[in-house]
Copies of this chain bind each other. A is one copy, B any other.
């Protein structure tokens, strides 16, 4: 089935929680990307498969995220499973003061796997400590959002064949952007070169740069996107969010610094890709959408494949 992978040993995620990108080494990444690619083939040929028929996902979102919750729902459904969607929990038993562990232990008595989005750092780890069933972290505040990082890296591998040898340029809010921190931590498993493009006040934090340096990777930091574009194999664009700024004058100065448009792309490689975690608000112009290098909608679809792979894996069916 997967001749490109060594036959033994295969990493097993059965019964495990998915809480952090730090759980994934190169072997596990290869494995989960192999399964995700198979999921893509299954969906493109047959629409899905029945691997998780009879299984139930509790999709527990303490804060709204249409994109992520829909992606997990679709992933479960395309594998033949069913989903209990739980939104707006703040108005429900939680508002009566119930603790997260009790909510989790209740839900696992109904479901086979729990996906949790929660505004507090560490919530997914807490949930996993109390749950006997697998818990998948769908974002815990400014903490982690591992499936986002996995789908980002999977997109690079699917689009460009492999990550090794690539120049990865990240642009925008590198200080607060959780996605670029997690993706960087995954990318150090590969032989890549980093370019970080941001205004001085939104530079990549030292702890992330330490990881890059500590693993022997080279990087540079620049403020000008046009200077960085030509050498890039991947241009990962993030949004500069107004709510990060106490001084709106500062926000106004940086918010439109980086706009990826058709003119910028004339200086880019033919084979590069433009990525974005979405939603975007002007940092990629709509004219770029029809360029074959615009990978952000395919990136969304890859999110479903990664989540299919993770759900099937933790439930012991992949």
Q: Which residues of A are at the interface with B, using a C-beta cutoff of 8 A?
A: 46-48, 54-56, 58, 64-67, 70-71, 73-74, 77-78, 82, 84-89, 91-94, 96-98, 101-103, 105-107, 109-112, 278-281, 286, 297-298, 300-301, 304
Nearest CB on B from A136, distance (A):
17
A70 interface neighbour in B73, B84, B105, Cβ under 8 Å:
B84
A73 interface neighbour in B55, B84, B112, Cβ under 8 Å:
B84
Cα separation A82 to B56 with both chains bound (whole Å): 12
Cα separation A70 to B94 with both chains bound (whole Å): 14
Contacts of A56 on B, CB cut-off 8 Å? 74, 77-78
Nearest CB on B from A89, distance (A):
6
Known A98-B279, A107-B70, A109-B301; judge A65-B92 contact (CB<8 A): yes
Cα separation A279 to B70 with both chains bound (whole Å): 28
Cα separation A88 to B63 with both chains bound (whole Å): 12
By the criterion CB–CB under 8 Å, are B65 and A93 in contact? yes
Nearest CB on B from A307, distance (A):
10
By the criterion CB–CB under 8 Å, are A64 and B88 in contact? yes
Nearest CB on B from A100, distance (A):
11
Q: A47-B112, A65-B92 are known contacts; what are 16 more A-B pairs with Cβ within 8 Å?
A: A47-B55, A48-B54, A54-B78, A56-B74, A56-B77, A56-B78, A58-B70, A64-B92, A65-B93, A66-B86, A70-B106, A82-B82, A98-B279, A98-B280, A106-B297, A109-B304
By the criterion CB–CB under 8 Å, are B297 and A105 in contact? yes
Number of copies: 3
A66 interface neighbour in B70, B103, B105, B297, Cβ under 8 Å:
B103
By the criterion CB–CB under 8 Å, are B54 and A96 in contact? no
By the criterion CB–CB under 8 Å, are B110 and A92 in contact? no
Nearest CB on B from A115, distance (A):
14
Cα separation A86 to B73 with both chains bound (whole Å): 11
Which residue of chain B is the closest to A107 with respect to CB atoms? B70
Which residue of chain B is the closest to A276 with respect to CB atoms? B102
Cα separation A66 to B55 with both chains bound (whole Å): 19
24 contacts between A and B (CB under 8 A): A47-B112, A54-B78, A56-B74, A56-B77, A64-B92, A66-B89, A66-B92, A66-B94, A66-B103, A67-B106, A74-B84, A74-B110, A77-B84, A88-B88, A93-B278, A96-B281, A97-B279, A97-B281, A98-B281, A102-B279, A102-B280, A105-B297, A109-B297, A109-B298
Cα separation A106 to B82 with both chains bound (whole Å): 21
Cα separation A287 to B239 with both chains bound (whole Å): 45
Contacts of A297 on B, CB cut-off 8 Å? 105-106, 109
The 4 lowest CB-CB distance pairs between A and B, nearest first, are A98-B279, A74-B110, A109-B301, A66-B92
Contacts of A73 on B, CB cut-off 8 Å? 84, 110
